[in-house]
Amino acid sequence: MTDYRKLSYANLILILASALGIVAFLSPFFGPPPQQNQMNAMAHSGDAMLVLTLVSLMALAAVAAGFQSNEMNAKTLAVLGALAAVGAVMRFIPGPGGFSGVFFLPIMAGYAFGAQFGFLTGLITLLASAFLTGGVGPWLPYQMFAAGWVGAIAGLVPHFRSGSRSEIAFLAGVGFLLGLFYGMIMNLWFWPFVFQPEHAELYWQPGQTPLAIIKAYALFYLITSFVWDVWRGIGNAALIILFGAPVLRVLKRYQKRFHFAVMAPPLVS
């Protein structure tokens, strides 16, 4: 049986991929000050293709390492591809504000199969949905990282007794918070590149202290994005409440059949 508590090569590669994502998001704050304007069209335009190439190669390397260590096989790869394909199509589900069905399956897959599988599901789902919707741009690798982290976090949360009402209620709460988390992280891909003098207190300015940066970003997020992201969180929670139980049963059957082990210890509901 595969034990995800051991640091395999696939896990190590995905940890390095996450480190790459953190560096990519935070690099504007530590490198030469980026050219700022009132638009975000030029955000990361110089490095987005490199980051996209690196994260894609790392994902392929993680899958290859999983095959080498017997953590993955043709069947698990087929499940991963099917989840990513269906998740990409779910992006077309209409809803208010930042609602999107694209996060439902990465959350379910991460919870059922573990953080590694959840990270890959989120990452590949956003890549597939971008090509499906024509949403390819410098924001894409950052969407992939953020969605991957959504799936990974779902795999790391405590696990309740399978099939209990507490499990679905807990997952709905996790889904709501992850909807906020995704938006909060994604704003960082463009925030250092925009500046409006009439609202200078909302934007990053070179030379600010870390505390001042955090305060400015928190204010920017609350004013511009919080309500939008609340709808994403509500959408995640609603989909989990409506469809989470049957989807989770199916995924857990596959999990048992393919001998995945979940990292988080079970909790008594």
What integer best gives the mean pLDDT of the chain?
88
Per-residue confidence at 262, pLDDT binned at 50, 70, 90? Answer: very low
Mean pLDDT, to the nearest integer, of 174-201?
94
Question: The dihedral of CA 236, 238, 241, 245: what is its sign?
Answer: negative
Does a structural domain hold residue 34?
yes
Q: Can you give the residue range of the structural domain that contains 195?
A: 9-267
Per-residue confidence at 268, pLDDT binned at 50, 70, 90? Answer: very low
Does a structural domain hold residue 203?
yes
Please tell me the predicted confidence (pLDDT) of residue 202: 92
Does a structural domain hold residue 4?
no
**Count of domains forming the chain:** 1
Please tell me the predicted confidence (pLDDT) of residue 63: 92
Does a structural domain hold residue 1?
no
Mean pLDDT, to the nearest integer, of 182-211?
92
Does a structural domain hold residue 177?
yes
Least confident interval from 151-160, 231-240, 259-268: 259-268
Least confident interval from 63-67, 109-113, 180-184, 261-265: 261-265
Per-residue confidence at 59, pLDDT binned at 50, 70, 90? Answer: very high
- Integer Cα distance of 269 and 169 in angstroms: 11
- Integer Cα distance of 182 and 208 in angstroms: 25
Does a structural domain hold residue 240?
yes
Does a structural domain hold residue 3?
no
Does a structural domain hold residue 191?
yes
- Integer Cα distance of 210 and 201 in angstroms: 14
User: Which residue shows structure tokens 């590694």?
Assistant: 116
Q: Does residue 142 carry a pLDDT above 90?
A: yes
The torsion region of residue 264 among left (phi > 0), alpha (psi -120 to 50) and beta comes to beta
